Structure formats: C-alpha cells, structure tokens
Amino acid sequence: MLASNRRVTATSILLVVLLATPTVAAAVEEAAKQLTVIGLADLHGALEPSKRKTKAGQEIEVGGAAWIAAYVKGLRALSEGAVVLLDAGDLFHGTLISNSAEGEPVVRLHNYLDVDAVAVGNHEFDFGPVGRHSVPKSPQDDPRGALKQRIQEAHFPFLAANMRTTSGNHPQWSKPAVLIDRAGVRIGIVGAAYEQTPATTTKRNLHGLEFLPAAPALLREAKKLRQQGADFVLLTAHIGGGCEDNRAEVVDDLNSCSVHDIIKLLDEMPPGTFDLVLAGHTHQPMNKLYHQTVVLQPAAHGHFVAWAHLQKRQDQVVREQKLIGVCSAGVFIADQLHCDREQLDNHVGKLRPAMLLGKPLQADPQVKKMFAADTARTEKILSKPLGAVTTARFERGYYGESAMGNFAVDMLAAAMRRLGERFDVALTNNGGVRADLPSGPLRFGHIYKASPFDNSLALITVDGKTLKRMAQWGIARKRGGLSWSGLTFTATGCEIGSIAVKGKPLQADATYRIATHSYLAGGGGGFDRFNLTAAQVRILEEELPLRELIASELELSKPTLRPQDFYDPNKPRLLIQKICKG
C-alpha cells in the first residue's frame, strides 16, 4: 500500500514538472477546453407538465418544471468540463400559474436551475406595470415595472445587445453580453432580442425602447469578447428557425427548414462569429450545424432541452449536439428516448421510462414541492367546468383557416354582441390563438391556454379600402394569418378577388366597424401599417379580458361544439386558390 502511494506521489510530482514546461502546459490547458451548453426556450410559464396518451391508452407527462429540472440536473452530472445553461427568451407569459404572479414562479425555477443568462423575448413585456393592469393607466405607471421586478429577483442577466432606449443608451435593467469563467474556461454570452418585438407585443409597454437590426450589435459584442480572451462565444437569441428533419445524420442539411430567420442573421456575420447559437421565438425544433456554428432551438413549453458539447483543441472545435425530449416515458428510437406526439400516437407496445445514457430519471421532488402551493392556487380556477362540450379536437392553423381560428373569432363576435356593440365583421390573429381545444367537456383552463393574453375587446372603424388591405395582410404570410367572422373572400396568390361583408360585396368607400381585440387595435401583429388614428379605435378596457368573456359565453350557452361547423375545407370562408409567397 505504501509503495503504491509512493508511486502515485512520484507520478504526481512528474506531472507537476511536466506542466511547468510552457509547451506541455499549454497543450494540456488547450486539451482541457471543454464546454457543455444546455438550452431552454419559449417556456411561456409552462411549469405544469402536459399529458399525452399512446394509442393503447398509456399516459405520460411531457415537460413541466419537475421534469425539466430532472433532465438539466442529469445532463450536468454527465458533463465533463464547464457547463452553462441558457434560455432564449419568452420565459413567463402563457399560463395562469405564471401570469397570476407576473412570472415570479418562472424566475424561482430558473434560479433553482442555476441559469447563466437569458435573452429578452418579446413576451417578457406583456405584464406591463406591477399590479392588475397589463398596460399603463397613468403617467406614473412604469410600462416595464413587472419585468424589472422579475429581473431584480433573478440570479442571472437578461441580455439583448440590439435593444436601446430612444436616447441611444442600453437599458440599465439588461446587458448586451457577459463573460463568465467556469472550470478554467472563459465563456462569452451575447443576447439578441427580436427586431420585430414592437409588432409582436403590446406597444404601450415598449414606450422609450428601440429594437435595432441585430447583426451589427452582435458582431461588435462577439469581437469584444474574443479580445477579452473568451474561449467560446455563444449567442442566445429570441430569433428563430424551424426544421422538419433534425436527425444527427442531416445536421448540416437545411432543406427541411421552413423558417430561416436565425440562419439569415448568421449570414450577416463572418462564419465562426459564434461557436453556438441557441434560438427561440418560433416554437419549432431546430438541430443544425451551419458554417461550423451549432444552431439549436428546443421548440417550446419545456418539451425539449437543447444540448451540445464543444471541445476546443488549438483552433479546432469538435462538436456534439442534439435535442432531447423531456418526458416521463417514451419510445426508444436509435438509442434515444422520444415522446413526440407522432411516435406516441403510433406506438402500441410498452413505453420505456425516462433515462439519460442508461441512467433512470425521476421528476425532481424538490421542484414539485416548490410549486405545490402555486398549483393548488390555480387548479381550482382552471378546472372549473364551462358546460360546453366538443365532439372532436379543434386544431389551430398559423397561416391558414382552421376550426380553432374560426371558433376564436366567432366567440369574440358573440362576446361583442352580448355587450350590445354594433359591428360588421370580427377579426383575430392566428398567432394569438395559442392552443387547440381538446375533445370532450371544456374547462376554463382550456380557454386560458388558448387565450393567455390579457387582451380587451376593441372596435376599429375603417373604410372598405382599408378593410380589404387588412384581409390582404392576412394572406401575405409575413406574420401568422387572420381569422374572420362575417368577411369572406377569394384569393389567388397575394391578390384578393371577390370580397364580401355578410354576403354583400365590399364597398371601397363605405364605413365598416370591426370587432377585434386590443393587441391588433393597438398596432400589434403588423397592424401599425394601417396608421389607425385614435378616433378610429375604441378599446373596451372597462370590460373583462377577452378569454373571460369567451368563457362566460360558453357557460351561458352550454353548446355542443363540432369542428366541422366552424371550418369545412370544402366551403371555406377564405377561398385561397394559390398560396401567397410575399
């Protein structure tokens, strides 16, 4: 035993001597530059897991704070070298458990997970001032009061290099970038906000802020970090992508990618500006290697985590990367657990329990305990039955007409009629409809999940020419489409042909009243292009939020709802004969 100890000691002394030699020391130091990156994006307050069933009726949990924590902890434990955890933004807004506390539970989770940095997402601004109102009601209200309070509680910075005040300064409550030291590795992290943030959140909460083109600011920060000795430079960006095929064997093939915003951004900078990009905003998965930059986007709502391992030797970086499904059980395909809806729908055998590299995982009990009171606080509200029943699932369509989009706009119209307001057509944006309706009895939670934003009803008065321009904007595919009630039209490509209001041809010089909500009436969703004046817009701020009015309408009428009654593909409201490529 003593001889063995002497040999170890001698070896250790020899190693120290070798390390003292500059060339050998540099080589060992270079070989030790390893970094594991774990990434989240677009959680939207989804602290509770979703439930999914296989064809055979087996139920599993997907996402949720306790399972996210289990996977993050498991990946940390399996990692060599430095580890960082990033988030690409839109942390808070989207569920009652988070919204009712203005995002505080999500900050609590991220502090527990030891997140290193997050990007500023467009929906970070949705809560507005601290308190009940989601937009300022007086000059004394701080339009970003709730966000600033969350940032004070956070143990991590909010990053956006391309966000400025109108006076040209960076906001004091955020940073453009940070440089951290972790396990002997220097890691630069740059953040980017979505340039179109003013069109994708409530404008009144952005007063005094500007969102600049991202590339110049990101390149400047990345160069600065390299000069400061960063071994790796990472970007967390609320700028998205989306690909159908994210298998490892096609990691460098973009042919299946339908959304390229993050790729277009990288094309504006020299290759190698960033070693890794964590993307967000579009809620789609992405696992690609583009010009030697790892590009990952873990979809949304905590259903995936992004993972990458970077190892730097001299000027060469070796990369491994993947998206990992977050679930309690699933289907094993090519040595990886999958819990996508498609695999579960087609699976009839026994599911395999969650594991990482052969090691089983359990939902984090400490996180379950952490949110027990929050869950109890909201469950009673969400589980309230509405008396309405659906005969089948109501599915959303982001660009095109759908049963869910038509249901949403028809319910908006019904709520406006019950208030006694006169209008000609009703309008909502498909991007604001955030979830399908399931088959079966409806509860308030189903409506909340589909309509989580605190939008009020609104009325817009326009002439027929402007109404047609709005319809044309809805088919341009530059944003999500629009759903209409009372308006029908035909279109070929980007051009609208016949168009009618309640069955009568639209008159260009006639006046029309549109029932909608405060987000569009306030210029969101690209509606700022119509330059509506204060005299043309009336927001019914004294009424309940739109989702509350929809829930009340269902409670009063207790209907049986069939998807085919809202959308018949053979008789659509919007007959689009050729997709607009504009």
- Contact 537/521 with Cβ under 8 angstroms? yes
Question: Which pLDDT score is estimated for 349?
Answer: 79
Residues 447 and 205: their CA atoms lie apart, in Å, by 25
Residue pair 457/515 in contact (Cβ under 8 Å)? The answer is yes
Nearest to 299 by CA among 46, 36, 581: 46
Q: Each residue's pLDDT tens digit in the chain (582 positions)? A: 333 333 333 333 223 323 333 444 444 444 559 999 999 999 999 999 998 888 778 889 999 999 999 999 999 999 988 999 999 999 999 999 999 999 999 999 999 999 999 999 999 999 999 998 888 888 899 999 999 999 999 999 999 999 999 999 999 999 999 999 999 999 999 999 999 999 888 888 999 999 999 999 999 999 999 999 999 999 999 999 999 999 999 999 999 999 899 999 999 999 999 999 999 999 999 999 999 999 999 999 999 999 999 999 887 889 999 999 999 998 887 777 788 877 787 777 788 899 887 788 999 999 999 999 999 989 999 999 999 999 999 999 999 999 999 999 999 999 999 999 999 999 999 999 999 999 999 999 999 999 999 999 999 999 999 999 999 999 998 888 999 999 999 999 899 999 999 999 999 999 999 999 999 999 999 999 999 999 999 999 889 999 999 999 999 999 999 999 999 999 999 998 888 876
Please say whether the beta carbons of 242 and 273 come within 8 A: no
Q: Phi and psi for 35 in degrees, rounded to 5?
A: -140, 130
Q: What is the pLDDT of residue 336?
A: 75
> Residue 232: which of 33, 96, 58 has the closest Cα?
33
Residue 220's identity, in one-letter code, is R
Residue type, 85: L
Question: For residues 165 and 171, is the Cβ–Cβ distance under 8 A?
Answer: yes
Residues paired with 359 in a beta bridge? 356
Q: Which of 282, 207, 290, 274 has its CA nearest to residue 235?
A: 274
Q: Which amino acid is at 1?
A: M
- Tell me what pLDDT residue 134 has: 87
Contacts of residue 210, Cβ cutoff 8 Å, sequence gap at least 6: 163, 164, 165, 166
Q: What are phi and psi of 529, to 5 degrees?
A: -65, -15
Q: At which residue do the structure tokens 């660009």 appear?
A: 399
Residues counted in the chain:
582
CB neighbours (10 Å) of residue 14?
A: 10
DSSP codes of every residue in 365-424: HHHHHHTHHHHHHHHHHHT-EEEEEESS-B---SSS--HHHHHHHHHHHHHHHHTT---S
pLDDT at 582: 67
Cβ atoms within 10 Å, residue 392: 14
Q: Count CA atoms closer than 13 A to 267's CA, side-chain side.
A: 5
pTM: 0.85
What are the two backbone dihedrals, phi and then psi, of residue 78, each rounded to the nearest 5 degrees? -90, -5
Q: How far apart are the first and last CA of the chain?
A: 77
Q: Would you state the pLDDT for residue 416? A: 96
How many Cα neighbours within 13 Å face the side chain of 541?
Answer: 12
- Runs of H (alpha helix) within 128-181: 145-153
pLDDT at res. 18: 30
> What are the φ and ψ backbone dihedral angles of 105, each rounded to 5 degrees?
-60, -35
Q: Report residue 327 as tokens.
A: 């679930």
What CATH class does 32-372 carry? alpha beta
How far apart are alpha carbons 562 and 403 in whole angstroms? 9
Signed CA dihedral, 519, 521, 525, 531: sign only: negative
Instruction: Provide φ and ψ at 104, rounded to 5°.
Output: -60, -40
Amino acid identity, position 172:
Q
Question: What are the structure tokens assigned to 295, written together?
Answer: 């590009």
List beta partners, residue 290: 293
Domains of the chain, by residue range, sit at 1-31, 32-372, 384-578
As a whole number of angstroms, the distance between CA 186 and CA 359 comes to 30
Please report which helix (H) or strand (E) contains residue 426, including its range.
strand 425-429
Q: How many angstroms separate the CA atoms of 339 and 61, rounded?
A: 9
Given the candidates 3.40.605.10, 3.30.1490.20, 3.40.50.700, 3.90.780.10, the CATH classification of the domain at 384-578 is 3.90.780.10
